[in-house]
Structure 1
């Protein structure tokens, strides 16, 4: 029964339509998987199995009448906790937040519910979403199911752990510098940061996106068909576009793909990651693509400036809190933010200006190629208890060099597994596409998914 938890969303919908499976059977299987894993993973918050069973029974009744609500009716779903769901507080990963029930579903949660998705839990995240880690002052420490001594990444930490552990097929995270793609890479998943504005969110912000985290490209595409429906609350959203998300057929032959192996700042790419990405490039070459090297196009000034702006943005919020609430913030985060207290207006403005610099640099790098491929992260995952791969609050962004520019530029980017370390940890390949070409990115990811070596079996809860 618990193997039902590992079925894809595409397979579940097909089975519901043919009446081979019931959403009730499936949610029971997911609950059993959670019972086996969750005491060690700490991926979930606001978990409500009783409400999930009620939703599954309602879905079962709709399928029996042949009247599903939408494309994912009866499919189990988790929602990252910073995406509001009506009636549930939004702690933002930090013990400094005053817990107040959300008044309404944010757009991704609303679209999920309207399409019949069975939302059974929120997923954990670090303080204010400002870590690539499962470490939080509010939630228990989230761990990576591939190796419980390692980090799932973040800030969509619980989502990454839940998807890899088989807590159902559909999960959604958010990403402002790599927070979907990094945990997807470290947990062996498909993680899509859509084009800026493609998927409505609330509140919108420069560089911020929500997107699916799944085990397959087809499941990501299926969920995008739901999540991209319009919502006026996102004042930065693109005009709605009808896209045939499930048409993933496409040839690699004739594509010109840039191979980006040195970002220009940050951690150097490790040998195992380098080998896995180069092997992926070789597969694409064999399939008819032309691979060309991409020179480093980011600079230390760019990330240092963005770091200043993000510190200032964080300090503006934190400085309003009374001292007793400030004291509840994760020390790593507070020690990073508080350095902004003496910044000048010029410090903040020149930091903000690096968003344009990154955008222009990535647009330039994409000018003569169809796509860029790169490592998702320089190295496989790191110790679970650490806040970041270097664990240094004054050097917090050395590992996001390959992911952050797509946020600032707005291009779609996906992480997909391309191999494993000698210790068995997943390694992610990032694919960056042209502006607004989300379907092109998914088609290339699907082509690679079909040509890569078979993935290793997903972690099982008997792992220690």
Structure 2
């Protein structure tokens, strides 16, 4: 039998149903596994074993009565730092936060509790979620389990690392420009950014989504069954819709005749590494051999769009920093302070023009995608970079050069996923992004599941360092 930390959510539920495993046994094994990994990985925040074991005991009792309380009863889960959990502080990855316990669960946390999931821990993130790395002024620097010298990506840094390292099967991240998909790509796991509003969040914000990070598409689909339940706190929430998430496994039946766009040049940002390009092209050929048509696509994101979004976010962050007293502001990660404070000289006209680039990106993305059924591309132009760097460029004036493939789909509200499609010569994972039309969340999961069946076997999951 596989080690308990290698079992997916459905396998655990089947074992609970047969009484061949108990939630308490699984939680205890995972806590031990995390204890071995965590001194090197720094993926966990608020790791509280007694709380986890108490929830696992309650789940075990329900299963023994034959009365599980929900579809994830007893399944271990982690939740990103910035998703509030009742009774816990929400530091947002920054030492500038005042650590006040939350009075409520944010929608994703509430849905998981109602479904019976067992909270292993929260997961780490960079300051305010504004980096694609695990560098934080509050948390220890998160690292990539495939190579501890590399970062896991971000801002769902701890979630991506935890999924690859086997901190249980289910992890929740958030994504406003790639923060689920980038760590999924660099950690070799599956990450799904739903259509905006599909998974309710609080507070809502343009382009910001919560979604699953898992080792398999099936586990992400199981998680969506819970996360996509409505919540009135999200003013951008979609109307309730009955989605047959179990139909994610029917992707192979849909491939014949599909038009799949292949985007190998984002239009700006970092150049695509040759090994990344080759892996994505190989993935496209697998889809083509299975009956899909591959349509080469021209880039639509321009430098003005990417810089405009960057400059608006700088001004937003500067306004947030100015709400802090000098002492708290000084505790923010210097890279983030430098980035935000660079907006101090922006004119009102400049900021207005920058703000319009979100809509320009949306219009261009929808127009480009209207010609195909789905879009295939690299998730990121490079593989994982040094753990100590806040961004691949290490330049706060060029901070977003790595998100040109991911951010358009946040602005267009379209669902997009990252799935591992290979490794580079150093053994670092490469991610394939699959994006669909707005609201076609199930279709993206179906294509991703089909690719799981089409791709060649990947390397074994990383094991914790032995001393």
TM-score (norm 1): 0.99
Q: 2:10 maps to which residue?
A: 10
Q: 1:122 maps to which residue?
A: 122
1:296 and 2:299 correspond? yes
| Structure 1 spans left out of the alignment, 5+ residues | none
Q: 1:437 maps to which residue?
A: 440
Aligned equivalents of 2:293, 2:407: Cα separation in 1: 25
Aligned equivalents of 1:196, 1:118: Cα separation in 2: 26
Q: 1:413 maps to which residue?
A: 416
Residue 289 of structure 1 and its aligned partner are, at CA, apart by: 0.4
Which of 342, 345, 349 is matched with 2:348 structurally?
A: 345
Q: 2:265 maps to which residue?
A: 262
Which digits, 9 at most, give the CA deviation of each residue in 1:393-449, with x for residues without a partner? 110000000000000000000000000010000000000000100000000000001
Would you say the 8 A contact 2:31–2:120 is kept in 1? no
Residue 2 of structure 1 and its aligned partner are, at CA, apart by: 8.5
Q: 1:330 maps to which residue?
A: 333
Aligned equivalents of 2:368, 2:49: Cα separation in 1: 47
The within-5 A match list for 1:59-74 is 59-74=59-74
Aligned equivalents of 1:227, 1:66: Cα separation in 2: 24
Q: 1:311 maps to which residue?
A: 314
The within-5 A match list for 1:51-62 is 51-62=51-62
Residue 456 of structure 1 and its aligned partner are, at CA, apart by: 1.1
Aligned equivalents of 1:45, 1:8: Cα separation in 2: 22
Q: 1:236 maps to which residue?
A: 236
1:284 and 2:287 correspond? yes
Aligned equivalents of 2:141, 2:269: Cα separation in 1: 26
Residue 344 of structure 1 and its aligned partner are, at CA, apart by: 2.0
SS at structure 1 position matched to 2:247: coil
The within-5 A match list for 1:5-404 is 5-248=5-248, 249-250=250-251, 251=253, 252-404=255-407
TM-score (norm 2): 0.98
Residue 454 of structure 1 and its aligned partner are, at CA, apart by: 1.0
Residue 169 of structure 1 and its aligned partner are, at CA, apart by: 0.2
SS at structure 2 position matched to 1:247: helix
RMSD: 1.0
Aligned equivalents of 2:376, 2:63: Cα separation in 1: 41
Aligned equivalents of 2:240, 2:61: Cα separation in 1: 31
Would you say the 8 A contact 1:2–1:30 is kept in 2? no
| Structure 2 spans left out of the alignment, 5+ residues | none
Would you say the 8 A contact 1:305–1:351 is kept in 2? yes
Structure 1 stretches of at least 4 aligned residues deviating more than 3 Å after TM superposition: none
SS at structure 1 position matched to 2:414: coil
Aligned equivalents of 2:363, 2:35: Cα separation in 1: 48
Would you say the 8 A contact 1:127–1:330 is kept in 2? yes
Q: How many residues align?
A: 464
Which piece of structure 1 moves more, 409-418 or 335-344? 335-344
Would you say the 8 A contact 1:153–1:186 is kept in 2? yes
Would you say the 8 A contact 1:258–1:292 is kept in 2? yes
Aligned equivalents of 1:100, 1:349: Cα separation in 2: 35
Would you say the 8 A contact 1:30–1:168 is kept in 2? yes
Would you say the 8 A contact 1:2–1:29 is kept in 2? no
Q: 1:453 maps to which residue?
A: 456
Aligned equivalents of 2:246, 2:133: Cα separation in 1: 32
Would you say the 8 A contact 1:93–1:137 is kept in 2? yes
Would you say the 8 A contact 2:42–2:143 is kept in 1? yes
Would you say the 8 A contact 1:372–1:433 is kept in 2? yes
Residue 463 of structure 1 and its aligned partner are, at CA, apart by: 6.3
Would you say the 8 A contact 2:263–2:297 is kept in 1? yes
Aligned equivalents of 1:328, 1:462: Cα separation in 2: 32
Would you say the 8 A contact 1:380–1:425 is kept in 2? yes
Aligned equivalents of 2:65, 2:345: Cα separation in 1: 64
Aligned equivalents of 2:159, 2:451: Cα separation in 1: 23
Aligned equivalents of 1:463, 1:232: Cα separation in 2: 47
SS at structure 2 position matched to 1:246: helix
Aligned equivalents of 2:30, 2:74: Cα separation in 1: 12
